[in-house]
Chain A
Amino acid sequence: MIGTLLNSTSLLLASEFAEESANASNFPMIPALIITPLIGAIIIALIPRSRSDLYKQIAVITSVITGAFSIAMLVAFNTGDSGYQFVIDQPWISDLGISLHFGVDGISLFLVVLTGVIFPIALLGAKVDHDPKPYYGWLMVLMAASMGVFSSLDLVLFFAFFELVLVPMYFLIGLWGHSNRVYAATKFFLYTMLGSAFMLVGLVSLAVLNARAMGGPITFDLVEIAKNQAISVTAGRWIFCAFAVAFAVKVPLFPLHTWLPDAHTEAPTAGSVILAAVMLKLGTYGFIRFGLDLFPEASHWAAPVMMTLGVIGIIYGAICATMQKDLKRLVAYSSIAHLGFIVLGVFAFSVQGLEGSILIMVNHGISTGALFLLVGWIYERRHTRQIAELSGLQKVAPIFAGVFTLVMLSSIGVPGLNGFPGEFLVLLGSFASARWWGVVAVSGVILAALYLLWAYQRVFHGPVTEPNKGFRELRLTEGLVIAPLLVLIVFLGLYPKPMLDRIEPSVERLLAHVDAEVEGFELREVKFVAPLPGEVDAGHSEAGKTEAGHTEAGETEAGHTEGKP
């Protein structure tokens, strides 16, 4: 079953194979991604406070260099290769089989690039009103740790970065956040750490049991343990649960989500942007890399529960977002809904579902990051985020309103913008394998339009009340900062193929792995490619047509909605 699919796609990708050769250079790309921001942090720490003007410059320069490295990685990435690339494998604690094993594949590649792109934008787009030195220092540490999480291929190394991320974020929220920041920061730290506590026990158990079953020395190498699949079904399910708690907190899945609205709302703008764009992906990325890959059987076993929680998240997040009076909190709840889609797609166990999930992971980062940036700018101008106190901004600041509209529509998932392909693929994938979850999830698409459009209407339409009269138009610098995100919103909405091409081989490899390990697993797909000559199948061609058609439809629809307000 999966074989035919692989065949057809490999034919599709044949041209791509020819174009790009393996990444030839031996430049240690991943260490560079981690070390560059750390060097920035050290330089910032060493500069005396009298030269406080330098902090931002150094942070921006190092993050841009890191971003450039990540782009270079994207360019050098071998499109057709489903395995890990840019691999580095050095022993770290050899007695316990813990190694500095790094590598990226199609699943993690775009998260690394996203991290590289979002950080400079968050740094440039948000102002800091006090203590610039620790602010930029912690942001650089955060960037290094995020890069580490997405590229680690050793369980302990991954865990170390996963936990390390907490510390800078804790300080960012606690020192530069809003009124209730200490509560939010502490809650964020403890919630995540509690989840990780289970994961640590789980990963040690996994390594111990794996070593026992294989009879070899203990190893924490992800690739090897995933390949071995040596532990018993029961043990696998227990350990999966231990991992799932940690990831569910991080995603966050209902009912472990309560830290998120607090953390996002109280965080400073840069913190919110990074939280939404990068931090939230740690959980869903973890589910793919350390759930599906390590525990295919247990993940498949838990899929109904996880999908149900994902769907609850979609609906619950949307309803909560509708009820919010605080604009930033609204965006925070909308994240819960989006992340619900990702979880649904991951556990739908289909190529489209998984691809869609990875697309949403990246695109949610772009659009929600941009939304937080815009909300942050509204707050800078008006010193309030209360929807009720904002009104008629469109008349005072039409360009600002236009940018907000574009970003908002992308977040809603309007066809033609980047929010659409991911959601569409997730729904497509879940219809094939988990129809009823898909049916319920579709309503989330409508709800998203409801809460965001309603919020837009209240904030940007209506009469211009007195305090909003002086609302400043979008500055040129602000426009330049957000421009890359706007370009990505449109480009990835219209032409997601370059992304899909790189994601697909890895996703197929992952599902082939699941197929091989799970008894009675059946990959249900909506056939997605145009039928090859000689292969006549009505269903296929229909699906193919839909695919071809939707981008066109998207463009026109986007045009409509954009024109409306």
Chain B
Amino acid sequence: MIARIVQDSPVQTLAAEAASGTPEIIWSAIAPNLILMLGGVLLLTVVSLLRGKSPSWFPAVWTVVTASLALIALFPLWARVQDEGAQTVMAGAVGLDGFSLFVTGIICLSVIMGALLLEGYVRREGLEGAEWYVLLLLSASGGVTMASANDLIVMFIGLEILSVAAYVLTAMHSKRISSQEAGLKYFVLGAFASAFLLYGIALTYGATGSTNLVRIQRFLSDTVITQNGLLLAGFAFMLVGFGFKIGAAPFHTWAPDVYQGAPSPVTAYMASGIKAAGFAGLLRVFVVTFGPTYGADWRPMVYALAVLSLLVGSFMAIVQTNVKRMLAYSSISHAGFILVAVEASSTQGTSAALFYLLAYTFMVTGSFAIVTIMGRTGDGTHALDDYRGLGRARPGLALIFTVFLLAQAGVPFTAGFLSKFYVINSVVAEGQYALAVIAMVSAVVAAFLYLRVVVAMYFSEDPAAELMESRIKVPVGASIALVIAVVGTLWLGIVPGAVTNVANDAVAQLVAFKS
């Protein structure tokens, strides 16, 4: 079935590595991941030992500190990668390159934001407990594993750690039936998607003889596969798996329901951290591994996914009446935009996707911070009508939300504009003008959605009566999160130079393991 032009048989290298025994593990290379995972486990232990004697703010602060430590641990690693180049550790299963570090940073940021939002949220809802934070940290550790995986099996394990924790988090609001429903829906569909991914991995293994991305890449560049049906089917199935995680149409149907049903801080994490991890996997597998050899085969598939996501996301968003659902659909159209950068299949495209993911993390966690605050006790008031008159009742909140919404619409001097600009730049550089035009036009359609929220907040004649009466409380954690998000959104829009350079240096590389 497969005709090989054997130059450097993968079987030989495999044998050579197996002979050398247990590989040495460079712990420092996976320090951020370890910090997140150990932080989660330790938190569980400590809180269990204290038996409820710990103050209610303790787990949130613990989580923020843990994620910040992981973030700090990235800096020496970044310096090492820039000095010595990308590395592979743990017998070629984990890669250490600028790309994985950048995505790790995004995930850590997303955890910090999620924890800050959860702090006030669980208190308001009467659902205090350390479980939220433990699950958040473990899920993040899965995401980091995924971002740095150099092996399809490791990537799958990372995806599962990421997802299982997220399923539980979605269903954690025990007082809301919609939360449980969303959790179940997310779980069933997510399990399907994981199965697809695993099947794709199996087919790819069948076609290439390895699950290690370095060997797959080497095999594909050395070998001409005369009948590539198996490999292409593998692409398609893996794309389904990743497409589900990033919420790309037509695998998006879970997103609106789950985003709406999940506790709002969890939705914030889902839209930023999980999406970043999903894109990290997609970029590493498709752009880096398959890009040079089979780009012509998978790029049309991603093209179709991108166009569908852009159109479905923006057109469906404008007919929604629930703000969380709106943001869910808008997140689909943002996924479409990032897919456009993936389609470019270039280092420029990868940098653009990374910049977009970071910018989107600020914008979307900020938006969901507002949604969390506006949900009030019960996390239920998310109808567009509930936002009527916010501009009068709480001008500060309304103005901040406007910044996030306009940034998502792509208004200049905000993070949203430059992230769109970089994507367009990367795709035009590949000569894909039609895709660029589709992306920009659908961004205009999506802008209508953001304007609808602005109209409700500022221009409506009859403000929501409830809004004027009830005092909306902004907890300390949420206000810190809002400040971080606003500063990030504007900073990336006005002085983007430093981050752009970092994103450009965050090259994804596959390096063979040297034992």
Question: Chain A: residues with CB nearer than 8 A to chain B?
Answer: 91-96, 134, 156, 159-161, 163-164, 166-167, 170-171, 174-175, 181-182, 185-186, 189-190, 193-194, 197-198, 200-201, 204-205, 208
**Pair B406/A182 contact, Cβ less than 8 Å:** no
Task: Tell yes or no: B72 within 8 A of A by CB.
Answer: no
Task: Tell yes or no: B496 within 8 A of A by CB.
Answer: yes
Q: How far is the CA of A134 from the CA of B417 in the complex (A)?
A: 23
Q: Contacts A92-B497, A175-B458 given: A189-B447 contact, CB under 8 Å? A: yes
16 contacts between A and B (CB under 8 A): A161-B412, A163-B410, A163-B412, A164-B412, A170-B451, A174-B455, A175-B459, A181-B459, A186-B455, A189-B451, A197-B437, A197-B441, A200-B420, A201-B433, A201-B436, A204-B421
Q: How far is the CA of A156 from the CA of B413 in the complex (A)?
A: 11
Given A189-B451, A204-B428, 4 more contacts at CB 8 Å? Answer: A164-B411, A174-B459, A200-B421, A201-B428
Q: Which residues on the B side are within 8 Å of A159 (C-beta)?
A: 412
- CB closest residue in chain B, given A209: B428
Question: How far is the CB of A271 from the nearest CB of chain B, in Å?
Answer: 14
Name B400-433 residues within 8 Å CB distance of A. Answer: 406, 409-413, 417-418, 420-421, 424-425, 428-429, 433
**Pair A93/B496 contact, Cβ less than 8 Å:** yes
Which of A95, A174, A193, A205 is in CB contact (< 8 Å) with B504? A95
Name B99-121 residues within 8 Å CB distance of A. Answer: none
Task: Tell yes or no: B500 within 8 A of A by CB.
Answer: yes
Q: How far is the CA of A171 from the CA of B455 in the complex (A)?
A: 9
Question: How far is the CB of A22 from the nearest CB of chain B, in Å?
Answer: 32
Q: How far is the CA of A92 from the CA of B433 in the complex (A)?
A: 26
Question: How far is the CB of A232 from the nearest CB of chain B, in Å?
Answer: 13
**Pair B458/A174 contact, Cβ less than 8 Å:** yes
Interface string of B427-461 (1 = CB under 8 A from A): 01100010011001101100110010011001100
Q: How far is the CA of A91 from the CA of B501 in the complex (A)?
A: 13
Which of B437, B455, B459 is in CB contact (< 8 Å) with A201? B437
Q: How far is the CA of A198 from the CA of B395 in the complex (A)?
A: 34
Q: Contacts A190-B447, A200-B424 given: A94-B459 contact, CB under 8 Å? A: no
Q: Which residues on the B side are within 8 Å of A171 (C-beta)?
A: 458
Q: Which residues on the B side are within 8 Å of A156 (C-beta)?
A: 421
Q: Which of A91, A156, A201: most chain B CB closer than 10 A?
A: A201
Q: Which residues on the A side are within 8 Å of B425 (C-beta)?
A: 96, 204, 208
Question: How far is the CB of B262 from the nearest CB of chain A, in Å?
Answer: 30
Q: Which residues on the B side are within 8 Å of A175 (C-beta)?
A: 458-459
Which of A96, A163, A174, A198 is in CB contact (< 8 Å) with B437? A198
Question: How far is the CB of A199 from the nearest CB of chain B, in Å?
Answer: 9
Q: How far is the CA of A166 from the CA of B413 in the complex (A)?
A: 13
Q: Contacts A186-B448, A193-B447, A204-B421 given: A167-B411 contact, CB under 8 Å? A: yes
- CB closest residue in chain A, given B423: A204
Question: How far is the CB of A119 from the nearest CB of chain B, in Å?
Answer: 20
Question: How far is the CB of A196 from the nearest CB of chain B, in Å?
Answer: 8
**Pair B444/A190 contact, Cβ less than 8 Å:** yes
**Pair A93/B448 contact, Cβ less than 8 Å:** no
- CB closest residue in chain A, given B409: A193
Q: Which residues on the A side are within 8 Å of B458 (C-beta)?
A: 171, 174-175
Which of B417, B455, B496, B497 is in CB contact (< 8 Å) with A163? B417
Question: How far is the CB of B501 from the nearest CB of chain A, in Å?
Answer: 6
**Pair B428/A208 contact, Cβ less than 8 Å:** yes
Q: Which residues on the A side are within 8 Å of B451 (C-beta)?
A: 170, 186, 189-190
Which of A94, A194, A208 is in CB contact (< 8 Å) with B429? A208
Q: Contacts A160-B413, A198-B437 given: A167-B501 contact, CB under 8 Å? A: no
Which of A160, A185, A201 is in CB contact (< 8 Å) with B424? A201
Q: How far is the CA of A193 from the CA of B451 in the complex (A)?
A: 12
Q: How far is the CA of A171 from the CA of B395 in the complex (A)?
A: 14
Q: Which residues on the B side are within 8 Å of A163 (C-beta)?
A: 410-412, 417
Question: How far is the CB of B413 from the nearest CB of chain A, in Å?
Answer: 6
Q: Which residues on the A side are within 8 Å of B406 (C-beta)?
A: 167
Question: How far is the CB of B419 from the nearest CB of chain A, in Å?
Answer: 12
Which of B409, B413, B440, B504 is in CB contact (< 8 Å) with A164? B413
Q: Which residues on the A side are within 8 Å of B411 (C-beta)?
A: 163-164, 166-167
Q: Which of A91, A96, A159, A174: most chain B CB closer than 10 A?
A: A96
**Pair A201/B417 contact, Cβ less than 8 Å:** no
Q: Which residues on the A side are within 8 Å of B412 (C-beta)?
A: 159-161, 163-164
Question: How far is the CB of B502 from the nearest CB of chain A, in Å?
Answer: 10
- CB closest residue in chain A, given B412: A160
Question: How far is the CB of A405 from the nearest CB of chain B, in Å?
Answer: 37
Question: How far is the CB of B388 from the nearest CB of chain A, in Å?
Answer: 12
Q: Which residues on the B side are within 8 Å of A92 (C-beta)?
A: 497
Q: How far is the CA of A186 from the CA of B409 in the complex (A)?
A: 13
Q: How far is the CA of A153 from the CA of B395 in the complex (A)?
A: 36
Q: Contacts A159-B412, A198-B440 given: A93-B500 contact, CB under 8 Å? A: yes
Q: How far is the CA of A167 from the CA of B437 in the complex (A)?
A: 22
Q: Which residues on the A side are within 8 Å of B410 (C-beta)?
A: 163
Interface string of B497-508 (1 = CB under 8 A from A): 100110010000
**Pair A93/B497 contact, Cβ less than 8 Å:** yes
Name B144-183 residues within 8 Å CB distance of A. Answer: none
Q: Which residues on the B side are within 8 Å of A194 (C-beta)?
A: 441, 444
Q: Which residues on the A side are within 8 Å of B500 (C-beta)?
A: 93, 95-96
**Pair A182/B459 contact, Cβ less than 8 Å:** yes
Q: How far is the CA of A167 from the CA of B414 in the complex (A)?
A: 12
Q: Which residues on the A side are within 8 Å of B418 (C-beta)?
A: 93
Q: How far is the CA of A160 from the CA of B414 in the complex (A)?
A: 10
Q: Which residues on the B side are within 8 Å of A189 (C-beta)?
A: 447, 451
Q: Which of A91, A171, A197, A208: most chain B CB closer than 10 A?
A: A197
Q: Which residues on the A side are within 8 Å of B443 (C-beta)?
A: 197
Question: How far is the CB of A167 from the nearest CB of chain B, in Å?
Answer: 6
Q: How far is the CA of A285 from the CA of B282 in the complex (A)?
A: 44
Which of B417, B424, B448, B454 is in CB contact (< 8 Å) with A204? B424
Name B471-515 residues within 8 Å CB distance of A. Answer: 496-497, 500-501, 504
Pick the 4 closest A-B CB pairs, nearest first.
Answer: A160-B412, A197-B440, A201-B436, A204-B428
Question: How far is the CB of B491 from the nearest CB of chain A, in Å?
Answer: 13
Question: How far is the CB of B430 from the nearest CB of chain A, in Å?
Answer: 9
**Pair A205/B433 contact, Cβ less than 8 Å:** yes
Q: Which residues on the B side are within 8 Å of A205 (C-beta)?
A: 428, 433, 436
Q: Which of B410, B424, B425, B454: most chain A CB closer than 10 A?
A: B425
